Structure 1
Amino acid sequence: MTTQKKSKPVLKEVPETVYDSSTNQTYVKGKFLGKGGFARCYELTNMSTKAVYAGKVVSKTLLTKKHQRDKMKQEVQIQKCLSHPNVVKMEGFFEDDDNVYILLELCSRRSLMELHKRRRAVTEPEARYFTHQIVLACHYLHSMKVIHRDLKLGNLFLNEDMQVKIGDFGLATMLNHEGERKKTLCGTPNYIAPEMLDKKGHSYEVDIWAIGCILYTLLVGKPPFETETLKDTYNRIKNNQYTVPPRIGKDATALISRLLAHEPSRRPKIDEILSFPFFTDGFLPKILPSSCLTMAPKFNMQAVSGGQTCVPNSSDVQPSPRSKGPAFTGRAPLASVPEAKETPPTVAHKQDKAAVLITEMPAGENNEVPADYYLSDLYAQLCSLLNTDTERFNEADRGEIEHPASSPIYWVSRWVDYSDKYGLGYQFCDNSVGVLFNDNTKVILDAPGIQLQYTERNNVEHFYAADKYPQALEKKITLLKYFRSYMNEHLIKTGANIPIREGDELARLPCLNTWFRTKSAIVLHLSNGTLQINFFYDHSKLIVCPLMSAATYIDQAKNVFTCKFSLLEQYGCPKELLNRLKYTKVMVERLISRNTSSHDEAKDGAPSKDVKFTNLV
C-alpha cells in the first residue's frame, strides 16, 4: 500500500535573485536549508555586503486568509524588536509579488533536535551549557514581555560557534499588561504545560515548564511525557507522570522537579533558575567543540556529575536538602516577571576545564554506541525503505524529499590504501586525519594538528598532545603524519576547511571502525554509526546515517543531496539513489556477517566475494 499524499498548492520556484525595494538591496539565492510550516528556507547573500542570511520564504498563496496574515505579521513584529546573543536576530523583512522574505541570522549548526537524534542523551556539562543559554535568552524575552510558547529542541538553533539561539516566534505572544493570561492552546505536544491544556489561562510559566522538558530530554534522551499517542501524552502531563532515571545527577533531578512542578506558581521564576546547584556547583564549559554534534566530549564524568539519586516518580521528587535553589514561598501572580536588568543572571563555576578533561576513556564508558555501531538499525531501516514502492518517484517531488538538516557531520573526503603493510589512511571533511591499522588499533589527529586520539584493540581511548605521546606509539604517529602529508600533496579533497576554534581541546572525534573494498566500491564504517560507500566508476559517494535515518548522495560533480528515509517512503526514490541504496543494503549484510562470524573470514580491506554495483542498476 502506498502512502497518500495530501494535495498542496503548487508553489513557484524562489527566483535566483530577489530584490528588496525598500532598501534597494539584491540577494542571491544559495543552498536550500530546509522547510517547515509555511516556509522554505535558503541561504540568501547580499550582493553588496556579501553578508549571508537564512532567508525564510513564505509564498503569498499560503497567506490568503486573514488569520494567516495576522500570524505572520505578529511573528515579524515580535522578532524585529528582539536583540540578544541567544535569540536569532531578524535582519530584514520585505516582499515581492509572489513571496514574503524574512532575513534571519544564519545558524549553520542546525538545531538541538539534530544533535539529539545523533546523540540521544548528552553529558551533564553539555546539558548545563545549552540550558544556561536558553535560560539567559528566556530571561531577556520575559523582560520584554514576550512568551515564546513553543520552546523545543527544533526551535533552539546553533551557530558556527555552538552558541544556542532561540528562534521561530510563530506562536509567540506579547503581554499587554501585568497579570494578563493567554488562553490559546498552542505548542508542541511533548512540551505543552498542563495549564495550557486546562485552557484556564497561561503566562510566562509555560516557558519555564518547556525548559524543564528540554533539560530532561537532553539528559535522559527522550521527552519526559512522551508516549505512543497524543491522548496518553496529555494525560501524563495533566497527572505530572514521569520518571527520572537513577543515573541522572541529584542536582539535575532537583532542578527538573521544580521546573516541571504541576502548579505554575511552584515553578521558579526565570531569574531564579541559575541559582540552583545544578548550575552553581557543576562545570559549565565556556564553549563546546563542534564534534559534540555527533560524539560526546572527553569529559571526566565523575568530576562533572552532580551526584546520583534514584527517583521513582516525579510526584515524590523534592529539591535536595542542601539545595541552594529558591524555596516556594506562596503563589505569585502568573504574569509576574522581573524588570529587565543591565546584567543577566550569572553562574559561579566551581570547576575549571583542566579538572574535567581526561587522558583515557575506558571502552563503553559513555554508553553511547551499541556493539554493532548501529548496523542492525541501519539494516532494518533499509529493508523497510526498499520494501515500499520506491520506484514510483516523480521528478517534480525532488524538493519534497530533500532534508539538508540531516547531512552528516563527519565523512571521509580522502583515503589511501596501504593495507598490504600498514593500514588505511583517511581524512575527514574537517581535515582531521586518521589511520585504521592492520592490527585494528586506530589513531586520529584533529584538524589543527594539536591533539591525538588513540584507540586500542579493546576500544579503550587515549588522548595526547600531538607533540607528547608515549614512545611506544612513535612508529604509528610517524605513519599517520606520512599519510597526512601524502593525501595533502596527491589527493583531491571533497569538503570544507574548518578553522581552529576555542573549545576544540574538548573534542572527541569519531574514527574509522572497519572497511573493505569490492571491485565496485570502498565501504567505510565509522564509530558514530555513519556508513559511507565510494563508488569507483563515477566517483560518487553515498553516506547513510541510521541515527538520522537519512542518506546523502554526492555525485560526480560534487553536488550534495540529503534526504530522509521517511520522505523516500512517502514520495519514492530517484533512480540514481535507489540503486545505490540497494547496493548499500547488500554491503550492510556483509558487515553484519563479518561481525557475527566466529572467525574473521575477510580482514579489513579484503574484497572477498564481490557484488558488482552494475548488477544492481
Structure 2
Amino acid sequence: MSKKDIPMKEIPEILCDDNSGKRYTRGRFLGKGGFAKCFEITDHETKETLAGKIVPKALLVKPHQKEKMTQEISLHRSLNHDHVVGFHGFFEDKDFVYIVLELCKRRSLMELYKRRKALTEPETKYYMKQILLGVVYLHDKKIIHRDIKLGNLFLNNEMEVKIGDFGLATKVDFEGERKKTLCGTPNYIAPEVLGKKGHSFEVDTWSLGCVLYTLLVGKPPFETSTLKETYSRIKKNEYRIPHHVSPAAKTLIKRMLCNEPSSRPSAKEALESDFFNGYIPHKLPTTCLTMAPRFPEMQTQSQRKPLQDINGSDNTPAQMAGKKSEPNEICNNESPDFHMGELFEQLTKLIDSNPSHRNPVNMDEAEDPAANPVLWISKWVDYTDKYGLGYQLCDNSNGVLFNDSTRILLYANGEHIEYIDKDMSESYYTIRTYPDMLVKKVTLLKYFRNYMSEHLLKAGASMAPKEGDQLARLPFLRTWFRTRSAIVLHLSNGTLQINFFADHTKIILCPLMGAVTYIDDNRKFRTYRLSSLEKYGCCKELAHRLRYARTMLEKLKTSRASTARIKDQS
C-alpha cells in the first residue's frame, strides 16, 4: 500500500502534550516534506509562536521508519546552538508524533536561491560563515548531518541561518568510524558515499562546497538533467568555476570539492580561509530575499552597478547617501523582459490543462506557503491626472511612479530614499538630504505616504524595520494599467499583481517561484505552485483569474511602454 492510499486521521486544532501539560493551537500551514506536515503552532501559556512538525503514526509502520524518527528526535534534542534550528520538545498521541521546533519565518536558502539565483559575495560570506559555525558545533558533538543542502538551511526573521532536518544525521561512536549508508541529496552527495567506501565528517564539507558554489554561481556544480549523469560528474569531479568568482572563493571551492576526503578542510579550517577576509555584513535586510542588496564595496552581475570598484571601496552605507549608480539592464535578475516571457509560458501551460474542468478536491495538495511572495503592493492611489501612481509595499516602504517615467522610493525605515531617473540610473539620498531638483518629488512622496497611511486599508502584514535595512534594495513599479475590472501592476523583480475591483480579490504571480498567491474576498492568503495546480486542478474562481492574468500579460508583453504607465485598457 502506497503512502497516498493510507487513510489519514484529521490533525487536531488543539495539540495536547499530556506529560508536560502544554497546549498548542494549530495555526497556519507551513508546508510538507517526507512524512511530515508543518504548521505554525502557538503555546497557550507563553503565546510564543513555534513550528510544529506533525507525523502521522500510520506512516511509521516499518521498524526502520520508527527507528529513523527516534534517531532524529534523539540527536536534535541534544543540540543548542545559534545556527541550529531550536528543538523545543516532542510528544505524541494515538495518531500523531509532534515535534516542536523554532519557527524560521523566512523559509530556507532554497527559496532565496530560486528568487535570486547567484548571490553577491558579501551575502554568500554572511550565510556561509553562519552555516560553518553551526557545522563546527555539530562535528564537535560527533554528529554528521549528511543532508546539508539549501532546503535544510533555514532563515529566521533576522535573516540568520539555522541548520535543520536531522532525519539523515548520525553520530560517530568511535574515532575513525566510517558510515556505510547510501544517503543524501543527488546534487550535494559526496563521491565516497556514491562509491560506498565508507564516509565520515568530510561528506558535510563536500556538501558545504556545493552550497558555496551554488550561492555564488547560481546553480549546483554537478547538476545535469539526469541522475546518472550527475553521479558520473561527481565521481569524475567534473565541474567548472566561472570567471567572475573571486580567487579566494575559487580556492575554497576546490579544496572543499576535493575527491579525496582526507584532503578536504574541516569546517573549522574552512572558516579560517582567505574567503572570509574583507567585508562581511553584520546583518542583512529581508529585501535580500528578492533583490540584491546595495553594498558600497561591490559591483556584481546580479545588482544595478554602483560606480565604486568591487574590491576597492571602503565606503560605509551611510557614506553612500547621494551616490549615483549607472543604469544596468541586469537589475531584474538578469531577465531582459522582467520574466514576462517565463510567466506567460507557465500560465499557458497551466491554462491549456483546463485546471477547473477537474474536480479540485486536492487543491490543498497544491498549496505551498514556501512560495509566498516577499513583497507585494498593499496600498495604491491613482493621481495620474496630475502626478502619478503612489503605492505602498507590504513592508511599509513607499514608492511613486511619476507621469514623467521617473520613480522615487522611500524605504521602510522612513530614512533612505532612492531616485530612479528615466534612463534607469539610481541615486541614493536620505529623507533630510537630497538635491533641490527633487524637492517637489519628495514632497509628493510624503503626501502619497501620508494619504495612504491615513485613508487606505492595508492588504497584508507589515514587516518592522530592522538592523541591516540600510543595505536594502526594493523592486520598483515598472508599469501598470487599469481596466474596467482590475488594476494590473508589474514590479521590476517579475512579480505581476492584479487587484480586482468588484470583490476585492487579488492574485500575485511570481515567475521565479512558478507560483500564484490568491487573496480571497475574506483577505485569506493561499499560495499555490502553478505546476501543482496543473496536476491537481483548481476552483473556477482562481482559473478565471489566471486566464485573465494571461490576457493582461499579453498586453504588457506587446506594449512598447516598458517603464511607465500603459494607457487604460478596455
Give the TM-score normalised by the residue count of structure 2: 0.95
Deviation at residue 170 of structure 1 after TM alignment: 0.4
Q: What does residue 283 of structure 1 align with?
A: 279
Q: Which amino acid in the other structure matches residue 289 of structure 1?
A: P
Cross-structure match for 1:364? 328
Shift of 1:271: 1.2
Task: Tell me the distance in 2 between the aligned counterparts of 1:227 and 1:357.
Answer: 41
Deviation at 1:6, TM superposition (A): 8.2
Determine the C-alpha separation between the residues in 1 that align with 2:285 and 2:35. Answer: 33
CA distance in 2, matches of 1:145, 1:361: 49
2:295 to 283, 296, 299: 299
In structure 2, the residue corresponding to 1:452 is in which secondary structure? Answer: strand
Provide the residue aligned with 1:531 in structure 2: 496
Q: Distance in 2 between matches of 1:162 and 1:519?
A: 41
Deviation at 1:12, TM superposition (A): 2.2
Instruction: Report how many aligned residue pairs link the two structures.
Output: 556
1:583 aligned to 2:541? no
| Structure 1 residue aligned with 2:154 | 157
**CA offsets 1:278-312 (integer angstroms, 9 cap, x no match):** 102x211111010000000001354799xxxxxxx
> RMSD value over aligned CA atoms?
1.9
SS at match of 1:405: helix
1:190-201 equivalences under 5 Å are: 190-201=187-198
- Further displaced range: 92-101 or 363-372: 363-372
Residues 356, 54 of structure 1: CA spacing in aligned structure 2 closer, same or farther, 3 A cutoff? farther
Q: CA deviation at 1:497?
A: 2.4
Matches within 5 A, 1:185-334: 185-280=182-277, 282-300=278-296, 302=298
Partner of 2:411: 446
Match of 2:26 in 1: 29
Say which of 588, 591, 594 aligns to 2:559.
594
Closer, same or farther: CA 441–420 of 1 in aligned 2, 3 Å:
same
Give the one of 55, 65, 68 matched to 1:68.
Answer: 65
Alpha carbons 2:559, 2:566 under 8 Å: kept = no
Q: Which amino acid aligns with 1:380?
A: E
Q: Indicate the residue corresponding to 1:607 in structure 2.
A: 568
Please state if 1:375 is matched with 2:340. Answer: yes
Instruction: Give the direction of change, closer, same or farther, for the CA distance of 1:503–1:456 in structure 2 (3 Å limit).
Output: same
Question: Is the 2:296–2:315 Cα contact (8 Å) retained in structure 1?
Answer: no
Look up the SS of the partner of 2:442 in the other structure.
Answer: helix
Can you list the C-alpha shifts for 1:208-267, whole angstroms capped at 9, x where unaligned? 001100000000000000000000000000000000011111111111010101111111
Alpha carbons 2:217, 2:245 under 8 Å: kept: yes
Alignment partner, residue 517 of structure 2? 552
User: Are the structure 2 counterparts of residues 356 and 186 from structure 1 closer, same or farther at C-alpha, using a change threshold of 3 Å?
Assistant: farther
The one-letter code of the counterpart of 1:61 is: A
- CA distances 1:559-595 after superposition (whole Å, capped 9, x unpaired): 0010001111111122111110000000000000103
Per-residue CA deviation, residues 398-452 of structure 1 (Å, 9 max, x unaligned), is 2201000101001011100001111000011111110001111111101221111
Per the alignment, do residues 102 and 607 of structure 1 end up closer, same or farther by CA in structure 2, a change over 3 Å counting?
same
Q: Aligned to 2:447, which of 471, 482, 499?
A: 482
**CA–CA distance in structure 2, aligned partners of residues 40 and 406 of structure 1:** 16
* Runs of at least 5 residues in structure 2 that lack an aligned partner in the other structure: 302-312
**Counterpart for residue 396 of structure 2:** 431
Query: Secondary structure in 2 aligned to 1:444?
Result: strand
Once residues 42 and 261 of structure 2 are traced to their aligned partners in structure 1, the CA distance between those partners, rounded to angstroms, is 44
Whether 1:519 aligns to 2:457 is no
Q: Secondary structure at the match of 1:227?
A: coil
Mapped contact 1:191–1:210 kept (Cα < 8 A)? yes
Give SS of 1:257's match.
helix
Counterpart AA for 1:78 = L
**Which residue is 2:307 aligned to?**
none
Structure 1 residue 390 displacement after superposition: 1.2
Equivalent position amino acid for 2:548 in 1: Y
Shift of residue 366, structure 1, vs aligned partner: 5.4
Looking at structure 2, the residues matched to 366 and 130 of structure 1 have their Cα atoms a distance apart, in angstroms, of: 23
1:499 is matched with which residue?
A: 464
Question: 1:170-205, CA deviations, whole angstroms, 9 ceiling, x for partnerless residues?
Answer: 000011111000011111000000000000100000
Identity rate, percent: 54
Give 1:10 shift: 3.1
Q: Distance in 1 between matches of 2:79 and 2:510?
A: 37
User: Quick one: structure 1 residues 183 and 356, their matched pair in 2 at CA, closer, same or farther if it must change by over 3 Å?
Assistant: farther
Between the aligned partners of 2:192 and 2:236, the Cα distance in structure 1 is: 12
**What is the rounded CA distance, in whole Å, between the counterparts of 1:355 and 1:536 in structure 2?**
42
Give the residue type in structure 2 aligned to 1:167.
G
How far, CA to CA, are the matches of 1:56 and 1:181 in structure 2?
Answer: 31
Cα offset, 1:606, TM superposition: 2.4
Partner of 1:111: 108
Partners in 2 of 1:550 and 1:9 — Cα distance?
Answer: 29
What letter matches 2:339 in structure 1? Answer: Y
In the alignment, the residues of structure 1 paired with residue 562 and residue 121 of structure 2 have an alpha-carbon distance, to the nearest angstrom, of 42
1:413: which partner in 2?
378
From 135, 157, 168, the equivalent of 1:171 is 168
Q: Check 1:25–1:584 CA distance in 2 against 1; reply closer, same or farther (3 A cut).
A: same
Q: Is the 8 A contact 1:296 1:366 kept in 2?
A: no
- SS in structure 1 at match of 2:362: helix
Determine the structure 1 residue equivalent to 2:309: none
Contact 1:419–1:605 (CA under 8 A) maintained in structure 2: no
Partner of 1:41: 38
Change (3 A) 1:301 1:235: farther
* Structure 2 residue aligned with 1:422: 387
Deviation readout 1:441-486 (Å, 9 max, x if unpaired): 1111012211111111111121111111111111111000000111
Distance of 1:238 and 1:89 partners within structure 2: 35
For structure 1, which segment, 185-194 or 497-506, has the greater mean C-alpha deviation from structure 2 after superposition? 497-506
Query: For residues 272 and 64 of structure 2, what CA distance do their matches in structure 1 show?
Result: 41
Q: In structure 2, what is the equivalent of residue 346 of structure 1? A: none
